């Protein structure tokens, strides 16, 4: 049985000393303990998937369930359980949401100054070919947005940009969702991978290296899939060169950066360099291939689910009669729907309003539009220099969480008791430094920059609550041995566990909409199962995050953002049917890859 050693005092009463984990705490049975431990996860998944409860309330309900299971089922003292929850919530705030807030702050400043629109027009001018535009906007720029913000921003913004460039709304939504896969594991400055390392107890370098040897294979396929979605087989025949170049460059840079350079910089460098490569290749191709035309013989109107046209939903093909036409002929103006969490009112207006007609921007403004991303890369790169990195890494906040004394099965202190943060070199602080420089470059005064930052925090309040609750839930489950019980039970799958592990991550993201949340929920479980089954723990931990990226396009959260951004409210079911096949197909490929990585066939790929 799980036990707690206590010391008694004449005045204060019993004082908790140590809590000993026992994965067979419920009835002395691993099976019953694992079954009871599933309850908190089931509460979250049912609340989100079946009852359609908002994410923050579902997460809080799961947290309450995890506390009840820990206290009643695993005999964890009430105070100890609450301390574990507090530890997880604090980690959810610092560094997780500290990264997200400052990343979205930088984006909101570009929106407030109009440089987001300049950037959008610049992308449109890079190539007149729709297939190349889909790669540049949905894949490359979407990956950059995922790297900087994540949490719905890439889908909403890239979908609106595609509509502005002439794509029909439904197709734009599909492209945005399918493209939002390969970069997700390293999104929001590496938050999902950082979270995975923290909850699993594995070194960040090992986890990032493993994920960086799995998701690049997805990057090889995604641009080709986008070209096929735009123009079918003919598109693949004619535009396979930029698609392959985009995928190969992204994959190589993602692998190299995650393994040898910097986790937070992984997707930023991969996105920027793949975009540059696509532009170079597209402009070098014969004019006959890259002529400005509508590829694939696209019909004038794509039938909607009820047999009507989807063009009137704000697409550029609208004659002005649809909701996006606003009586202005072909002016595509999607004027409703949610914008990415944390986007300021100025950002909401820019994302929801797309100007029609050609406009030539001043070259200086174009350079300023690209400047924030260059500044971010430089700030992160400088900190990684050999003469600087050791010094900033020493500036660490590390301590044993007060009152949280948990001993694992092996008799050693549990990793859930330790908190550590390199406060200067963490991605959130570096984003803050970059943001100050960006504000100066864009001509934003200190008072206005602070106002935009405050507005970003206010708009992110529910996301902050959700992440804090999910991390608190994960820490309670980890500290009380609930995840250990589940992991020991599923470890019975043996060698097949490697094939099934990405499915667990995929399921978690499909329901929660977040690779970060899925890693927090299942990361420790995957490691426990791997250790019991004799598999490399970093392999299954990485599989959880890599498999999770393919569940992103099916999550209710992302589907809702996508359809609302392009003014197709209520068509989530239609969009789901269009992307589910791609999600499952790529999941199968990834599962086979990870299984082979667990065998001598591809075992050499492990870090």
pLDDT tops 70 at residue 546 = yes
Position 54 confidence tier, pLDDT thresholds 50, 70, 90: confident
Collapsed DSSP state (helix, strand, coil) of residue 16: strand
Position 359 confidence tier, pLDDT thresholds 50, 70, 90: low
Q: What is the pLDDT of residue 593?
A: 95
User: pLDDT of 298-326, one tens digit each?
Assistant: 433 343 333 333 333 333 333 333 323 33
Q: What is the pLDDT of residue 356?
A: 41
Helix intervals (H) in 513-603: 515-533, 537-548, 556-565, 572-597
Q: What is the pLDDT of residue 155?
A: 83
Q: What is the pLDDT of residue 152?
A: 67
Q: What is the pLDDT of residue 334?
A: 36
Collapsed DSSP state (helix, strand, coil) of residue 109: helix
Element (H, E) at 83: helix 78-91
pLDDT tops 50 at residue 9 = no
More confident residue, 166 or 397: 397
**301 in a structural domain:** no
pLDDT tops 60 at residue 60 = yes
Half-sphere exposure of 396 (CA within 13 A, CB side): 11
pLDDT tops 80 at residue 602 = yes
Residues 6+ apart with CB under 8 A from 38: 486
Sheet with 13-20, side-by-side order of all strands: 3-9, 13-20, 406-407
Q: What is the pLDDT of residue 361?
A: 84
More confident residue, 4 or 186: 186
pLDDT tops 60 at residue 581 = yes
**562 in a structural domain:** yes
Closest CA to 419 of 139, 126, 93, 117: 93
Q: What is the pLDDT of residue 305?
A: 35
Q: What is the pLDDT of residue 309?
A: 31
Q: What is the pLDDT of residue 274?
A: 95
Beta-bridge partners for 18: 5
Mean pLDDT for 53-66 is 88
pLDDT tops 50 at residue 216 = yes
- 95 prior amide bond cis, ω within 30: yes
Whose tokens are 């909607």? That residue is: 304
Position 330 confidence tier, pLDDT thresholds 50, 70, 90: very low
> Cα(415)–Cα(417) distance, rounded to whole angstroms?
5
Q: What is the pLDDT of residue 551?
A: 87
DSSP 92: I
Provide long-range contacts, Cβ within 8 A and 24+ apart, for 569-574.
569/336, 569/337, 571/170, 571/304, 571/305, 573/305, 574/170, 574/304, 574/305
**457 in a structural domain:** yes
Contact yes or no for 556/539 (Cβ under 8 A)? no
Highest mean pLDDT among 27-31, 327-331, 342-346, 428-432: 27-31
Contact yes or no for 542/207 (Cβ under 8 A)? yes
Closest CA to 224 of 555, 554, 586: 586
Kindly report the average pLDDT of the chain as a whole number: 81
Half-sphere exposure of 137 (CA within 13 A, CB side): 38
Residues 6+ apart with CB under 8 A from 432: 102, 105
Q: What is the pLDDT of residue 148?
A: 76
Phi and psi torsions of 571, nearest 5°: -105, 25
User: pLDDT of 127-169, one tens digit each?
Assistant: 778 899 999 999 998 898 888 766 666 887 788 778 877 889 9
Contact yes or no for 300/315 (Cβ under 8 A)? no
Q: What is the pLDDT of residue 499?
A: 92
**Which range marks the domain in which residue 218 is found?**
3-296+306-605
Q: How far is CA 263 from CA 112, 256, 425, 426, in A?
A: 29, 10, 12, 11
Element (H, E) at 250: helix 215-260
pLDDT tops 70 at residue 396 = yes
Collapsed DSSP state (helix, strand, coil) of residue 309: strand
pLDDT tops 60 at residue 124 = yes
User: pLDDT of 461-495, one tens digit each?
Assistant: 887 888 788 889 888 988 999 978 887 887 777 77
User: pLDDT of 413-466, one tens digit each?
Assistant: 887 788 888 888 887 898 899 999 999 999 999 999 999 999 989 988 887 888
**113 in a structural domain:** yes
**What is the model's pTM?**
0.71
Highest mean pLDDT among 223-227, 317-321, 386-390: 223-227
> Cα(108)–Cα(348) distance, rounded to whole angstroms?
9
More confident residue, 146 or 17: 146
The alpha carbon of residue 430 and the mean position of all alpha carbons in its chain are separated, in whole angstroms, by: 19
pLDDT tops 70 at residue 353 = no
More confident residue, 521 or 503: 503
More confident residue, 525 or 134: 134
Q: How far is CA 381 from CA 102, 125, 265, 480, 542, in A?
A: 18, 29, 8, 40, 25
Q: What is the pLDDT of residue 97?
A: 80
> Cα(304)–Cα(575) distance, rounded to whole angstroms?
11
Look at the chain and report how many structural domains it folds into: 1
**432 in a structural domain:** yes
Mean pLDDT for 321-344 is 38
User: pLDDT of 263-275, one tens digit each?
Assistant: 988 999 999 999 9
Mean pLDDT for 516-530 is 86
Half-sphere exposure of 301 (CA within 13 A, CB side): 14
Of 74-83, 280-289, 313-322, 542-551, give the lowest mean pLDDT range: 313-322
Percentage, residues of the chain above pLDDT 90: 41
Mean pLDDT for 313-340 is 35
pLDDT tops 70 at residue 543 = yes
Mean pLDDT for 264-292 is 78
């Amino acid at each position: 049985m799980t036990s707690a050693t206590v010391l008694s005092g004449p005045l204060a009463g019993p004082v908790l000393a140590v809590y000993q984990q026992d994965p067979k705490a419920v009835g002395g049975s691993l099976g019953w303990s694992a079954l009871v431990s599933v309850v908190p996860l089931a509460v979250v998944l049912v609340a989100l998937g079946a009852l359609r409860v908002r994410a923050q309330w579902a997460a809080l309900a799961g947290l309450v369930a995890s506390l009840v299971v820990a206290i009643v089922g695993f005999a964890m003292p009430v105070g100890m359980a609450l301390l574990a929850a507090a530890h997880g919530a604090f980690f959810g705030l610092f560094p997780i949401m500290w990264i997200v807030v400052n990343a979205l702050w930088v984006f909101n400043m570009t929106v407030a100054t109009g440089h987001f629109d300049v950037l959008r027009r610049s992308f449109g001018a890079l190539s007149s070919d729709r297939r190349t535009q889909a790669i540049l906007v949905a894949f490359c720029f979407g990956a950059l947005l995922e790297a900087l913000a994540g949490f719905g921003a890439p889908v909403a913004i890239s979908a609106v940009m595609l509509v502005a460039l002439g794509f029909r709304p439904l197709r734009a939504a599909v492209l945005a969702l399918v493209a939002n896969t390969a970069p997700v594991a390293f999104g929001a400055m590496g938050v999902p991978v950082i979270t995975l390392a923290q909850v699993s107890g594995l070194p960040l370098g090992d986890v990032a290296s493993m994920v960086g040897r799995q998701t690049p294979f997805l990057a090889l396929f995604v641009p080709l899939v986008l070209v096929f979605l735009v123009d079918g087989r003919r598109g693949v025949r004619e535009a396979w060169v930029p698609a392959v170049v985009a995928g190969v460059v992204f994959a190589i840079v993602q692998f190299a950066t995650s393994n040898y350079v910097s986790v937070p910089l992984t997707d930023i460098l991969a996105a920027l360099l793949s975009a540059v490569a696509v532009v170079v290749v597209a402009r070098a191709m014969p004019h006959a291939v890259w002529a400005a035309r509508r590829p694939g013989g696209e019909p004038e109107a794509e039938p909607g689910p009820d047999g009507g046209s989807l063009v009137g939903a704000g697409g550029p093909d609208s004659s002005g009669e649809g909701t996006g036409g606003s009586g202005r002929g072909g002016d595509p103006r999607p004027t409703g729907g949610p914008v990415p969490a944390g986007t300021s009112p100025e950002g909401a207006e820019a994302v929801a309003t797309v100007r029609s007609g050609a406009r030539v921007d001043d070259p200086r403004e174009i350079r300023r539009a690209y400047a924030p991303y260059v500044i971010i890369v430089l700030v992160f790169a400088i900190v990684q220099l050999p003469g600087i990195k050791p010094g900033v890494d020493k500036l660490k906040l590390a301590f044993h969480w007060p009152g949280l004394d948990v001993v694992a099965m092996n008799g050693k202190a549990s990793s859930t008791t330790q908190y550590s943060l390199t406060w200067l070199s963490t991605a959130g602080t570096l984003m803050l430094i970059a943001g100050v420089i960006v504000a100066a470059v864009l001509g934003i005064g200190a008072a206005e920059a602070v106002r935009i930052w405050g507005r970003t925090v206010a708009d992110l309040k529910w996301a902050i609550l959700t992440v804090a609750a999910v991390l608190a839930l994960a820490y309670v489950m980890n500290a009380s041995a609930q995840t250990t019980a589940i992991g020991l039970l599923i470890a019975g799958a043996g060698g097949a566990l490697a094939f099934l592990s990405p499915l667990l991550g995929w399921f978690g993201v499909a329901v929660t909409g977040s690779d970060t949340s899925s890693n927090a929920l299942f990361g420790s479980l995957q490691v426990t199962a791997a250790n019991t089954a004799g598999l490399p723990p970093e392999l299954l931990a990485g599989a959880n995050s890599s498999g999770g990226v393919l569940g992103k396009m099916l999550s209710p959260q992302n589907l809702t953002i996508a359809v609302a951004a392009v003014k197709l409210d209520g068509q989530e079911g239609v969009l789901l049917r269009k992307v589910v096949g791609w999600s499952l197909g790529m999941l199968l490929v990834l599962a086979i890859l990870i299984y082979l990585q667990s065998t001598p066939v591809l075992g050499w790929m492990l870090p």
